[in-house]
């Protein structure tokens, strides 16, 4: 079997003005099981929502696309953050005591609800070393349970749903 390997493919007419290279590589993780945790008022890792990519060039960017189904008990507020290594990225500015996050849900109307989050972010890790991205979640207060890929009410019935979440990392040539 023949293989053709190249660093990038540029259209015959060249790239349009201001355009960059293209997608160099794609890495994805899929979480089809459920996760639950009492976050105790702190951000905790969501098991299975981690992806590692090794950029080919330090000048390239990484497009992170989290697709997350999440709920909290007792209609509590909840949110998540994207973390590169040990550094939180793509979060709100500091504002007094408010919790900084990538995305969040305010007071949900019912504990049965689960919310889908898709918040793409173009990151500049500036490295050619293996880079790990992960998602962390947090509920309001110290006694909030968080649920991924299910609602709080997970009764074994046909009107209760479960979902799948994923995280995709794409190296974008610059």
Q: Which whole-number Å values give the CA distances from 99 to 57, 69, 79, 105, in the listed order? A: 34, 20, 9, 12
Interior CA angle at 148 toward 147 and 152, to 5°?
Answer: 35
In order, the DSSP letters of 7-35 are S----TT-PPTT----EEEEEEEEE-S-E
User: Digits of tens for pLDDT over the chain (174 positions)?
Assistant: 777 777 666 666 666 777 666 889 999 999 999 999 988 888 999 999 999 999 999 999 999 999 999 888 877 888 899 999 999 999 989 999 888 888 888 776 766 677 888 999 999 999 999 999 999 998 887 777 888 998 777 778 777 778 899 999 999 988
Listed in sequence order, the DSSP H helices in 51-168 are: none
* pLDDT tens by residue, 65-115: 999 998 888 778 888 999 999 999 999 899 998 888 888 887 767 666 778
Per the listing, tokens 């090794």 go with: 54
């Amino acid at each position: 079997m023949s293989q053709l390997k190249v660093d990038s493919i540029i259209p015959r007419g060249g790239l349009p003005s201001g355009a960059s290279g293209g997608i160099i590589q794609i890495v994805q993780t899929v979480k089809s099981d459920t996760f639950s945790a009492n976050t105790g008022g702190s951000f905790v890792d969501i098991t299975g929502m981690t992806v590692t990519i090794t950029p080919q060039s330090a000048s390239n960017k990484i497009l992170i696309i989290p697709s997350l189904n999440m709920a909290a008990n007792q209609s509590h507020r909840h949110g998540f953050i994207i973390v590169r290594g040990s550094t939180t990225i793509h979060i709100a500015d500091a504002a007094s005591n408010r919790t900084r996050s990538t995305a969040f849900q305010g007071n949900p109307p019912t504990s049965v609800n689960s919310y889908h989050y898709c918040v793409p972010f173009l990151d500049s890790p500036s490295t050619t070393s293996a880079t790990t991205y992960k998602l962390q979640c947090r509920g309001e207060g110290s006694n909030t349970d968080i649920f991924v890929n299910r609602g709080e009410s997970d009764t074994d019935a046909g009107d209760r749903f479960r979902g799948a979440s994923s995280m995709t990392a794409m190296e974008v040539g610059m």
